[in-house]
Amino acid sequence: MALIVQKYGGSSVADTDSIKRVAKRIVETKRAGNDVAVVVSAMGDTTDDLIDQALSIDSNPPAREMDMLMTAGERISMSLLAMAIHAEGSQARSFTGSQAGFMTDAQFGTAHIKSVRPARVRKAMEEGCVAIAAGFQGVSEIGDATTLGRGGSDTSAVALAVALGADVCEIYTDVDGVFTADPRIVPTARRIPAIDYESILEMTSCGAKVLALRCVEYAQRFGMPLHVRSSFSHRSGTVIVPDGVDPRSLPNLA
């Protein structure tokens, strides 16, 4: 039995049918005997739509209010996902960034995670539930909602995986893993089955948006194994493990 953190990006939960598909996959992982914590992004273009709404009202909206607004996107996806897991006959409990214990500084829009205190996430898993945390969001010392920067759910997932001592952090997206170039732009790009932290760090700092830069930095710092893969297939994707760890030792590979 393993402890697995699964992160589902906005492209994997774009509509309610996708949420049901993802719920099935989570329940499969749980029924295989694993403890599962999930980090979820906002559905599809929700975050962009919220930003557009804000800008149509105020061209220079207060940063605190922007973060309050943007955290709404992940609240929708996390609660719908919990319902979809319930409809599959399993139990799930969703948590906002604050409830899941993501403590951040007060830099609205680009907050840094200072610590993760996942007591409620852990308790939910001990009680047999899938724990679902909202990605991309946290809470400042004085209790304001904060966001981590665009694409920040990847970082939330790794930070939660580290805090829980997970065996692997799986990043589910809409492509089959990390490719030699963006497969949507370069049709001849090849999937990279395994890569080291340094090389993926270089790719993400050059703008490959398949993973957020800070997520990779965090994973490297704490030696957290990553598995980037598609939520639309069961193929294994790209594994990133510390030196000396056999990539084949990761749970839930295929």
* Cα(164)–Cα(242) distance, integer angstroms: 18
CA 161 to chain centre: 10
Candidate list 37, 42, 85, 124; residue touching ligand ASP; CB under 6 A: 42
> Which parts of this chain interact with Mg ion (CB under 5 A)?
9, 151
Candidate list 6, 40, 73, 95; residue touching ligand ASP; CB under 6 A: 73
> Which parts of this chain interact with ligand ADP (CB under 6 A)?
9-12, 41, 151, 173-175, 178-179, 181-184, 203, 208-210
For residue 226, the SS3 value is: strand
**For residue 24, what are the CA distances in angstroms to 34, 101, 108, 130?**
14, 26, 35, 12
Asked if 10 touches ligand ASP (CB under 6 A), the answer is yes
Q: What is the DSSP letter of 82?
A: H
Asked if 151 touches ligand ASP (CB under 6 A), the answer is yes
Query: Which is nearer to ligand ASP, 12 or 220 (by Cβ)?
Result: 12
* Cα(35)–Cα(149) distance, integer angstroms: 28
Candidate list 12, 47, 146, 204; residue touching ligand ASP; CB under 6 A: 47
The pair of structure tokens assigned to 53 is 């709404």
Residue 104 near residue 140, CB atoms below 8 Å: yes
The pair of structure tokens assigned to 195 is 């890569």
Query: Which is nearer to ligand ADP, 44 or 61 (by Cβ)?
Result: 44
Residue 110 near residue 74, CB atoms below 8 Å: no
CA 217 to chain centre: 15
Q: Least Å distance between CB 211 and ligand ADP? A: 8
Query: Which is nearer to ligand ASP, 34 or 110 (by Cβ)?
Result: 110
Q: Which residues contact 86 (CB under 8 A, 6 or more apart)?
A: 92
Give the range of 84-92, 95-103, 150-158, 234-242 binding ligand ASP by CB under 6 A: 150-158
Q: Least Å distance between CB 228 and Mg ion? A: 10
Residue 73 binds which one of Mg ion, ligand ASP, ligand ADP, none, with CB within 5 to 8 A depending on kind?
ligand ASP
Query: Which is nearer to ligand ADP, 78 or 124 (by Cβ)?
Result: 78
